[in-house]
A and B are shown apart, each in its own frame.
Chain A
Amino acid sequence: MPQTFSSSVLIKGISTGARLRRLSLFFSLIAIAFLFVADIHLYTPDPWQELSRIGLGLVTPYWPNASELGVSLLYTVSFALLAVSGAAIIGMLLAMWYHWRVVRVLAAAVRSVHEIFWGLMFMQIFGLSATTGLLAILIPFTGIFAKVFSEIFEQQPVTATSTFGKASRLSRFVYGWIPQAWPALASYTRYRFECALRSSAILGFIGLPTLGFHLETAFKQGDYSEAAAVLWLFLLLIASVRFWLKLRLLPVYLLLAVLALPEMPPVNASFIWQFFSQDIWPTALQDGDFNGTWEWVSRVGVNEVWPALWQTIAITQAALVLSGVLALMLYPLASRALVGRWSVLGRFKLLVLRSVPELMLAYVFMLLFGPSALPAILALALHNGGLIAFLLANSSEDANKRIGEGVPKGMMRFAYIDLPQRYPAFLAFLFYRWEVILRESAMMGVVGIATLGFYVDSAFEEIRFDKAFFLIVVAALLNICVDGLSRWLRARSGLKAPTL
C-alpha cells in the first residue's frame, strides 16, 4: 500500500541498465585510479603563436605541386583498396574455420600488432616498397576481418543452413551464411576500407609514399598551409568514399590500383633470411648463451618493459573512458533524429575528429598542455570518441526512421529513449575499441611519453631489432590479453556485437 511503500522496491530485481551502469562506473573508477599512475603534468606554456600559425594554415591551404600530391593520393587509395580486398578474402576464409583454435590464435596474433609496427618491420625486409605498404595493412586487417566476420556469422539465424543436410562446410557458407550475412559483411568491409585509408595515409609517417609522408613533413617543418592542404584533401577523400565506392565498379578500381602501385624493387632473399634468423634475436640467444639471454631479457624487462607497460595501460584506460564520455556527448549532435538539420555540423565535426591522425592531435595538445601523458590521452579520446559517436549517430538515425508515435522530443528523447537504446551498442563499440586504443597508446610513445612505442621507436632508431622485436611481442601479448578480457566482458554483460 502506498504508505508502506518505500524505495527499496526499486532496488530488488535485476535491471540490464543498472548492471551496465555499474560496469561503466567500475571502468570509470579504474580510469581515475590510473590517472595517478599515468605521467600527467600540466605545464603552462605560451602556445598562442604556434597555434595561430596552425590556425592560419588551416584556413589557407596551399600546395605548390599538384601532381606530387596527386600521386601520393593515388598510392594511398591503391594500398588501402588492394590491402582491404585481400584481407577481406583471406579473413573470410579464416572466419569459416574460426572454430579452430589455431585460426583464432593466428588471427589474434596478427591483429595485435599496430600497422606502423608491421610497417617498420617489413621495411627492414622489403624497404620502402609497395610490398611493405600492402603487407603492413593486409596482415593486421586479415586478423580483424576473421574475427568480425565470424561474429557476424554467429549472429545469423540457423534456419537456412539447418535445412541443407550434410553439406560441406564451404558449401554451407557459400549457400547459406555468406548470402544471409551479405549486407552486414559488405557494410563492415566498407567501414574497414575507411580505416584502411587512414592506415595507409599514416604509413607515410614512417616513409611510405602516401599522403602521410607529405602531411608529416609539412607539419614537422611548420609549413601549416601545406599540411592543411594534405589534411583537407584527406578529409575530402574520406567524406567522398560513399559516393564513389560501388561494388560493381570494384574490379575497375582494383585494376587501376594495381597499375598505380609504385615500383617494387627486387627483394634480396638474404635480407629476409638475415632478418628472421639473426636481426630479431638477441646476440646471446644466437650464441646459445641462455644465461646471457636471461640477463638481456631481465634488463630490458626491468628498465623498459615494466615501466612502459604501466604507462601504456594507464593511458589506455583513461583514454577509453574519456572516449566513451565524448562519444556520448557528441553523437546526439550528429544525429538527425535528435538535432534535426544541425546534424550536418555535428557530422562534419566527427569526420574531422576521426580522420585527423592522432599523432597530430597529440602534437597540438602538447603545445597547449605541455609534454606529458595528457596530450596523448586527449588525442586518443577525441579520435576514438569521434569514431564511436559516428557509429552511434548512424544507428540512432536508423532506429529513429521507424520510431512510433508519441515519443518525447529533443533532450528527453535523448535521455529516456535514444541513449538507453544505444547504450548496449555503445559499450560494445567501446570494448571493441579497447584493444585499438591500447595499440594506439603504445604508438603514442612517439610524442615522448614512455609507453611501449617509445622504446620500440628508440630500438629501431638504435638499429637494435632484437629489442624492437621483443617489445613488439610484449605489446602484442598485452593486446591479446585485453582482447580476451573484452570478449569475456561482452559475453558476460550480454553485449551483442553491433552490426556496423
Chain B
Amino acid sequence: MFVLDQQSLVQGRHAVLNDISLEINAGEKVALVGPSGAGKSSLLSWLWQQHSDDIALCPQEGGLVDILSVYQNIYMGGLSRHSSAYNLINLIRPWSLRQQEVYTIAELLGIDETLAVSPDRLSGGQRQRVALGRALYRNKPIFFGDEPVSSLDPKQGDELLGTVLSQHKTAVVAIHSPELALKHFTRVIALNAGQLVGDWQTQDITLADIKAVYSGE
C-alpha cells in the first residue's frame, strides 16, 4: 500500500530522511518511534502524499481553528462529503443530522459537553480530543497521527488511542510512549537522525528494544 524504495528527503542542504526503504500493507498498525527531530513527521507527511484521499490525518499541532466551535472543528473532517452550499449553511446553522453524528463522536471522546465551546478556551488535552474527533469524522480506512495523545495523561491516552485505532483498518502513528507503541500496534518502525534504525513486528520485541532507540544505542 505504501512503498518507499531507498528514498531520501532533502530540505535545504540538510537530509531529513536518508535512504529509507519500507513497505506498509493494508491492515497494519504501525508505530513510528524515535527521538524528537528523528524525521518522524517528515516520514508521515511523505507517506500521506501517497494516499492523501484515503487518510484521516491528525497533525501534531492539531490544525484547530480557534474561534469556531468544537462542533464546527469536528465537522470540518466531513467537508469533502458535502457540497459547498451545504457546508456554508452548516457554518451558520448546523444541520441537526450532522450534529447527531458529531455528537456521537464527541461522546466517544468525552468532549460532548464542549461542543459549543471554541477550542481557544479548552485545555491542551481537550484540544487533542477535538483534533482526534475531526480525524474520526473523516471516516477513512487509514489513520495518520503525529503524537496524537501527547497532551493526555497516560491512562486517557491509552483509552483514546485504543478507540481511534479500533475505528481504522490501517494506521501509522508517530508516538513517544514505548508502552503505548507495544500495546496498540502490530509493527514498530524506529527512526534516528533520518535513518531507519529498526523495523519490528510487535510480538518480536520488548520495551527495552524501543527504549534503546531513544538512548541512541
Contacts and interface: CB of A to CB of B under 8 A. Distances in A.
Interface of A: 2, 5, 7, 9-18, 20, 404-408, 411-412, 415-417, 420-421, 423-424
B19 interface: no
Contacts of B57: 404-406
A12 to B, nearest CB: 6
Interface of B: 45, 48-49, 52, 55, 57, 59, 61, 63, 65-69, 71-72, 76, 79-80, 84, 87-88, 91, 94, 96, 99-100, 103-104, 112-118, 120-121
Contact of B69 (A17, A406, A407, A412): A17
A2 B100 contact: yes
Contacts of A407: 63
A412 B76 CA distance: 9
A411 B114 CA distance: 27
Given A5-B100, A13-B115, A405 B59 contact: yes
Contacts of A415: 87-88, 91
B114 A416 contact: no
Contact of A7 (B65, B96, B113, B118): B96
Contact of A2 (B69, B84, B104, B117): B104
Nearest to B135: A406
A194 to B, nearest CB: 29
B103 A9 contact: yes
A13 B65 contact: no
Contact of A408 (B79, B94, B115): B79
A14 B117 contact: yes
Contact of B112 (A7, A9, A405, A423): A9
Nearest to B87: A412
Contacts of B96: 7
* Chain A interface mostly: helix
Contact of A5 (B48, B63, B80, B103): B103
B80 A13 contact: no
Contact of B72 (A404, A405, A416): A416
Q: Ordered nearest first, which 4 A-B pairs have the shortest CB separation?
A: A13-B116, A17-B67, A13-B117, A15-B118
B68 A15 contact: yes
B59 A15 contact: no
A3 B197 CA distance: 51
Contact of B76 (A13, A404, A416, A421): A416
Contacts of B88: 411, 415
14 contacts: A2-B100, A2-B104, A5-B99, A9-B99, A14-B121, A20-B67, A404-B57, A404-B61, A406-B59, A407-B63, A412-B79, A415-B91, A416-B68, A423-B67
A412 B71 CA distance: 16
Contacts of A17: 67-69, 72, 118
Contacts of B49: 405
A404 B59 contact: yes
Contacts of B94: 7, 10
Given A7-B99, A9-B99, A416-B65, 17 more contacts: A5-B99, A5-B103, A10-B71, A10-B116, A12-B116, A13-B114, A14-B118, A15-B117, A17-B72, A404-B57, A405-B59, A406-B63, A408-B76, A412-B79, A416-B68, A416-B79, A421-B67
Contact of B52 (A10, A405, A420, A421): A405
